[in-house]
Chain A
């Protein structure tokens, strides 16, 4: 039935994706013919040198940018514009600073024209899950960095998306908050069975979170290598200093260096 279907084909398919920019009559190749399959429930991290085009890639997958060629298929359907089935969490979060925490979280729900009780229920539940209880009437600027992250996540997750896309979401956080957020997102992904595609330049982050790590070359970005991380979820914080972790990280680091 439905459950078999969703596991029979990749949930997210990136097929021969290329993105070129026309910059002052010069053609700039940013992403060159990338193909990638993401399966239901997977956590995939995309890493690569700065400026390689990974941000462009994930923005295009989310429908924020037009593709020069290729396709992005979500559940078999082509992704052409930003839509709630694959929300993108940006590095700058894009929180609606003129709205309270509550209004931010319920925004997408209101777009779905749900009953008020339903909206209340779902929103409260997710605020509880991410730990923003009691902050409903606050504005984003009144929250700490980690809390803003949680708000951005909650805002997207209330929609029950099939795939969660993230572009270096934790890059602006201090180390401790960052690690805490990594554990948070890992826990969330694991408990909801959500599929995640995350771009990061932080190798520790990628190895800690991912089932598979996709390494990109320098611009124009191509898939260089894919590294598997077979440690089961949920992963304890101590995994960061385990033998397996260090081995995988070394592999990725060496590969990127060459």
Chain B
């Protein structure tokens, strides 16, 4: 009933957003229903694809005896630390390259040689160098998240329009003020874009690395359950991986909305028309 008191514009936005979420949920529900029904009616061989009920039944066991929560914690910890490290490295390198443009002429080719190598190809070397455990995961995730942040930040730095800096000076701003209030906001959208990509890449890498040579973690848990022929748990693992990936990107979107509020307002404006 409180909805009646909000002005029509806000009401419209809430209604629009709710309908969008409902539409999405509808499809998910439909899919689950279809899946369950197919399993019940025997249309799907349960050895190949477990039914939703089997999957749900397996969860309490996973949590109690299978260390599910620990595994989730490990994977999330690795991706967050790895992406943080890779992003900071990417940022710093981009700033250095931005300040000293000649560096790019020397180091550009060298760095570009590394870019096409998928982080996954680094796994053997990573395990060789760092053994089995957290360290190779950190290394690989950092590596994977480095390039998106580095490339996007450098691009943003190079495309800073001088006019804004001049106007800042024109209005009497000190160098510090020009840096924090003009330069940083100008490159922030691209940095965050790089971060989003880096996070997405990092999450994929962490799972892959865990499947191949690391202990604990969701990737490891999937492999383990595969060897134990616990197919429902494998699927549980996959669903959780998907959900966490979604949550991570959702969180980054919130960060973006807070740090770069003008971007969203542009989008809303266009949607209204």
Identify the stretch in A24-32, A81-89, A194-202, A239-247 within 8 Å (CB) of chain B at 4 or more residues.
A81-89
Contact mask for chain B residues 165-192; partner A; CB cutoff 8 A; 1 contact, 0 none: 0111111111001000110011010000
Give the residue name and chain of the B residue nearest to A141 (CB).
B266
Q: How far is the CA of A63 from the CA of B173 in the complex (A)?
A: 15
Task: Classify the interface of chain B: helix, strand, loop or mixed.
Answer: helix
Residues of B within 8 A of A97 (CB): 262
Residues of A within 8 A of B260 (CB): 98
| Contact between chains at B172 and A98 (CB < 8 Å) | no
Of the listed residues B164, B168, B170, B177, the one surrounded by the most CB atoms of chain A closer than 10 A to its CB is B170
Is the C-beta of A123 less than 8 angstroms from some C-beta in chain B?
Answer: no
27 contacts between A and B (CB under 8 A): A63-B170, A81-B169, A82-B166, A82-B170, A83-B170, A83-B172, A84-B170, A84-B172, A87-B171, A88-B170, A94-B164, A94-B166, A94-B167, A97-B262, A98-B185, A98-B186, A99-B181, A99-B185, A107-B168, A111-B172, A111-B173, A111-B177, A141-B262, A142-B265, A142-B269, A155-B171, A156-B171
Give the residue name and chain of the B residue nearest to A81 (CB).
B169
Closest 10 CB pairs of A and B: A84-B172, A108-B171, A82-B170, A82-B169, A111-B172, A98-B185, A94-B167, A111-B173, A94-B163, A139-B262
Residues of A within 8 A of B173 (CB): 107-108, 111
**A90, A92, A111, A142: the one within 8 Å of B174 (CB):** A111
With both chains docked as a complex, state the minimum distance between the C-beta of A193 and any C-beta of chain B, in angstroms: 21
Residues of B within 8 A of A87 (CB): 170-171
| Contact between chains at A107 and B170 (CB < 8 Å) | no
**B163, B172, B174, B186: the one within 8 Å of A159 (CB):** B172
Is the C-beta of A39 less than 8 angstroms from some C-beta in chain B?
Answer: no
With both chains docked as a complex, state the minimum distance between the C-beta of A104 and any C-beta of chain B, in angstroms: 9
**B172, B182, B265, B269: the one within 8 Å of A96 (CB):** B182
Residues of B within 8 A of A142 (CB): 265, 269
Is the C-beta of A135 less than 8 angstroms from some C-beta in chain B?
Answer: no
| Contact between chains at A84 and B262 (CB < 8 Å) | no
Residues of A within 8 A of B171 (CB): 84, 87, 107-108, 111, 155-156, 159
Is the C-beta of A9 less than 8 angstroms from some C-beta in chain B?
Answer: no
With both chains docked as a complex, state the minimum distance between the C-beta of A108 and any C-beta of chain B, in angstroms: 4
Instruction: Enumerate A81-122 residues with CB–CB distance to B below 8 Å.
Output: 81-84, 87-88, 90, 92, 94, 96-99, 107-108, 110-112
With both chains docked as a complex, state the minimum distance between the C-beta of A194 and any C-beta of chain B, in angstroms: 16
Q: How far is the CA of A83 from the CA of B182 in the complex (A)?
A: 16
**B172, B262, B269: the one within 8 Å of A112 (CB):** B172
| Contact between chains at A90 and B169 (CB < 8 Å) | no
Is the C-beta of A62 less than 8 angstroms from some C-beta in chain B?
Answer: yes
Q: How far is the CA of A108 from the CA of B124 in the complex (A)?
A: 56
With both chains docked as a complex, state the minimum distance between the C-beta of A72 and any C-beta of chain B, in angstroms: 14
Q: How far is the CA of A141 from the CA of B170 in the complex (A)?
A: 22
Give the residue name and chain of the A residue nearest to B265 (CB).
A139
